[in-house]
Structure 1
């Protein structure tokens, strides 16, 4: 099936223009000379852009400890979730090779039990490490995420896209003053063990919520559940108070009649 370009669209108009230019070349020369054809196509392609229109943002999703070990025979890089684990792996290598340094000044016959002390004694100062050494440092783990053009809680694709970019921010260690947190669409949810309260605490912070999720009344639609019980829900306005029934209705009518009667007496007496 042949494709008919639509002159009402920029693309279709460009295709028609190219066809006309090639027809003119055919009429003038009786063929499509290579040099002339290249010039025509070069100018025609210059009307287009092939750049990716989607914008991507760099997002830090975590941190890793990078351990590099080298000697005369090998050069190895490994990743670790925390510094203590990387040091433990390095210390294991150090202890298995301790005979290489026994007898040096200040080096005991047996390796120390403390990982960092063992590593420091084995490798010594950086300037004296020679052909064997290591580096250990922390580095961010990042990813490129598509910047959403729109975000609607009523659109399943928008929600799935936002959910796929959620990030967990762990504590870097017991001495870290921060708390474990998950971030999604600017919303921060902290979940942690609180020794002061003796409880599991969950804290939701909405200060940085994506503005597309904020309602006209400046609130964020939210439902919080624990197991199967809903403990918070602001998705719908609270129901209107129900009309009283039975004896409550009789008391309400009596009180209303009494109030109206007293009001008339005061007006008449005045």
Structure 2
């Protein structure tokens, strides 16, 4: 299958240029002299860079549970979203093989209904049974990303880069003290069910926000919406003017006309 270079991309344009240079050499000389080709290709390669991109760092974007099962015929590895799911899959496999151990060596004829119990009974405390065995362990899912040189809320491209690197931190298990959280540009947004107050709680933590997002007054521009209603907005809504202080402001307040005893507008000067 022939590959057609795309002139709309820098790489495709470079390949087309190289073909044109070699065609021009053949037209001029009637052949492809090796020395001339070396010069042409050498200059053409100068248009490329083969350096490894700097500033790439591994970013954990999630976590999976790895289930490895092996026997004489296979060595399988599968990924699961949580430990309970991995254990359930392992228990299902054990129950499908229960006939070969049922009623022998103290094994009951029917496997236990509890997933952990059936796995422990079948494999034993060492997680192996003859030439069979398994392991279950958590592993981070990572990718390499290059942090943007600048974060600007007025730059759509920079925002898209940051948005694409957002990370979700799940609660590992019911006994985990952590809470599910989304992390983006240093901001932490927690969304969870709170039994104490009987509500869905949303908590935004700004202490670790990227300094490029923090305004001169120390705040982060933010809008919070629920459905179609904006419930918080410190971007378009201007803060209330601060009351003047000092001795001039005190004199103004003391000399300001007082409203009549019956209420109404202040009396105007005559």
Q: Name the TM-score, length of structure 1 as normaliser.
A: 0.70
Question: Which residue number corresponds to residue 174 of structure 1?
Answer: 174
Q: Deviations over 1:96-146 (max 9, x none)?
A: 111222243332221111111111111224386222111111111111112
Question: Which residue number corresponds to residue 89 of structure 2?
Answer: 89
Q: Is the 8 A contact 2:127 2:133 kept in 1?
A: no
Distance in 1 between residues matched to 2:264 and 2:59, nearest whole Å:
61
Distance in 2 between residues matched to 1:127 and 1:197, nearest whole Å:
42
**What value does the CA root-mean-square deviation take over the aligned residues?**
3.1
Q: Deviations over 1:132-178 (max 9, x none)?
A: 11111111111111211000001111111111111111111211111
Quick check: which has more Rg, 1 or 2? 1
Q: Name the TM-score, length of structure 2 as normaliser.
A: 0.70
SS of the equivalent of 2:145 reads: strand
Question: Which residue number corresponds to residue 104 of structure 1?
Answer: 104
Higher helix share: 1
SS of the equivalent of 1:212 reads: helix
Distance in 2 between residues matched to 1:127 and 1:71, nearest whole Å:
12
Matches within 5 A, 1:157-196: 157-196=157-196
Q: Is the 8 A contact 1:54 1:147 kept in 2?
A: no
Q: Which runs of 5+ in 2 are unaligned?
A: 1-32, 243-262
Q: Deviations over 1:47-90 (max 9, x none)?
A: x9631444212111111111111222222111111111111111
Q: Is the 8 A contact 1:187 1:205 kept in 2?
A: yes
Q: Deviations over 1:25-59 (max 9, x none)?
A: xxxxxxxx989x98xx99xx99x963144421211
Q: Is the 8 A contact 1:151 1:158 kept in 2?
A: yes
SS of the equivalent of 2:94 reads: helix
Deviation, structure 1 residue 240: 5.3
Distance in 1 between residues matched to 2:99 and 2:265, nearest whole Å:
97
- Which deviates more, 210-219 or 98-107? 98-107
Q: Which runs of 5+ in 1 are unaligned?
A: 1-32, 242-247, 259-270
Question: Which residue number corresponds to residue 132 of structure 2?
Answer: 132
Distance in 1 between residues matched to 2:228 and 2:147, nearest whole Å:
34
Q: Is the 8 A contact 1:168 1:181 kept in 2?
A: yes
- Number of residues of Structure 1 aligned to a counterpart in Structure 2: 220
Distance in 2 between residues matched to 1:122 and 1:178, nearest whole Å:
33
Distance in 2 between residues matched to 1:232 and 1:89, nearest whole Å:
45
Deviant stretches of 4+, over 6 Å? none
Matched, 1:204 2:204: yes
Question: Which residue number corresponds to residue 228 of structure 1?
Answer: 228
